[in-house]
A and B are shown apart, each in its own frame.
Chain A
Amino acid sequence: MVDKLLRSKKRKGLLTNLLLITMVIVLVIVPLVIAKDAEFGGADDNAKEAITEINSSYEPWFLLIWEPPSTEVASFLFALQAAIGSGILFYCIGYMKGRSKRDDNEL
């Protein structure tokens, strides 16, 4: 009985999680559909434009020490950052899940 209750609670949790993940995916896709012709560029170059629009004489007084030589290298480094982050995050979640399962079995 308890087992059954636990299982149905687990399933409900899984469903909620799937629903939440779907919402995030929709939030990413919708802009791509709505603003079809947009460039989806980042800040850097356009930010310079807007700042020079306000103050045309402004010159950056310090340059980046190092910049990725191409967008390929930059996207590699961004992907690496995301991979390191999610690697650590999900290692920890898996570790905690395994530990709590083991503790449950010992009881």
Chain B
Amino acid sequence: MKQDKAFLILSLTLILILQPKSAYGMHIMEGFLPPIWSITWGLMALPFVIHGFFSLKKTIDEAPKLKLLIAMAGAFAFLLSALKIPSITGSSSHPTGTGLGAILFGPTIMSVLGMIVLIFQALLLGHGGLTTLGANTFSMAVVGPFVAYAVYVIIRKADGPQWLGVFLAAALGNLSTYTMTSIQLALAFPAELGGFIASLTKFMSIFALTQIPLSISEGILTVLVIKSIASYANVVIPSIQNIDEGA
């Protein structure tokens, strides 16, 4: 029984590897969400961005020293979302880099920083788009950071080691972003046969696997950056104290 299962998983993996398809491990393209969904996701993302804006202002007012770390969180997202990395499915996708900032400052600050990255990519790189900005902001700059933050808090509450918390937070934040993207695509394009679920399965099956190695990479890179912040920063950041002890 157990062997059957292992065989099934192995053959499914092989099928996916041997029949490479391009994945949606990227932002939703310009014009590819019907207007109603563009507006809906825009409205959904807006409150988070506004909250993040005020949270950013408050953080800087209260502790101007943190500006350096906020710049780092933004720069990290900027850097990682420019790296299109090959994955086992034979297509390429890029990480998001939003987990770092979410762990350091809470999720909504990353809603602002993530949206800035998305605007840059939509205007200059022809990647993503203005009509899909709301949807992409919601997946990359709202859902991703919130999942990352929640995972980190849960693991720390359970007395899990810090490095594990950071790693899982960043990795799952990455995966959840692209899960959200497939939900968004499936909602906008339900299959004639099987509807939303059929489309979701299709979108998920293509890029869930693509995104796995990338999310592991993102987790590792985030641990590296947090380690150096923890050893050199001269400001107290309650969320990442004593990281070295766990590592």
Check B30 against A64 for contact (C-beta < 8 Å): yes
Check A46 against B82 for contact (C-beta < 8 Å): no
Residues of B in contact (CB 8 Å), total 75
Check B91 against A42 for contact (C-beta < 8 Å): yes
Inside 8 A of B75's CB, which chain A residues have their CB?
84-89, 92
* A17: nearest chain-B partner, CB-CB: B224
Given A24-B221, A31-B213, A82-B82: A43 and B189 interface contact (C-beta under 8 Å)? no
Check A42 against B89 for contact (C-beta < 8 Å): no
Inside 8 A of A46's CB, which chain B residues have their CB?
21-22, 91
Check A55 against B125 for contact (C-beta < 8 Å): no
Q: Indicate whether B17 reaches chain A with its CB closer than 8 angstroms.
A: yes
B30 CB contact (under 8 Å) in A51, A62, A78, A81: A62
Check A43 against B29 for contact (C-beta < 8 Å): yes
Inside 8 A of A60's CB, which chain B residues have their CB?
29-32
Q: Indicate whether A28 reaches chain B with its CB closer than 8 angstroms.
A: yes
A51-B232 Cα distance, complex, nearest whole Å: 48
A89 CB contact (under 8 Å) in B125, B214, B225, B227: B225
113-134 of chain B: CB within 8 A of chain A? 120-126, 129-131
A44-B121 Cα distance, complex, nearest whole Å: 14
1-47 of chain A: CB within 8 A of chain B? 13, 16-17, 20-21, 23-24, 27-28, 30-32, 34-35, 37-47
Inside 8 A of A92's CB, which chain B residues have their CB?
68-69, 71-72, 75
Given A16-B247, A27-B216, A96-B233: A43 and B31 interface contact (C-beta under 8 Å)? no
A31-B91 Cα distance, complex, nearest whole Å: 9
69-85 of chain A: CB within 8 A of chain B? 74, 77-79, 81-82, 84-85
Check B68 against A96 for contact (C-beta < 8 Å): yes
Q: Indicate whether A103 reaches chain B with its CB closer than 8 angstroms.
A: yes
Q: Indicate whether A107 reaches chain B with its CB closer than 8 angstroms.
A: no
Check B125 against A68 for contact (C-beta < 8 Å): yes
A21-B87 Cα distance, complex, nearest whole Å: 17
A89-B68 Cα distance, complex, nearest whole Å: 9
Inside 8 A of A28's CB, which chain B residues have their CB?
85-86, 217
Residue pairs across A and B with Cβ atoms less than 8 A apart, 14 shown, are A28-B85, A35-B88, A35-B90, A38-B20, A40-B92, A43-B25, A47-B26, A48-B29, A54-B192, A54-B202, A66-B123, A89-B225, A99-B234, A103-B234
**A residues bordering B, Cβ < 8 Å?**
13, 16-17, 20-21, 23-24, 27-28, 30-32, 34-35, 37-48, 50-51, 54-55, 58, 60-68, 74, 77-79, 81-82, 84-89, 92-93, 95-97, 99-100, 103
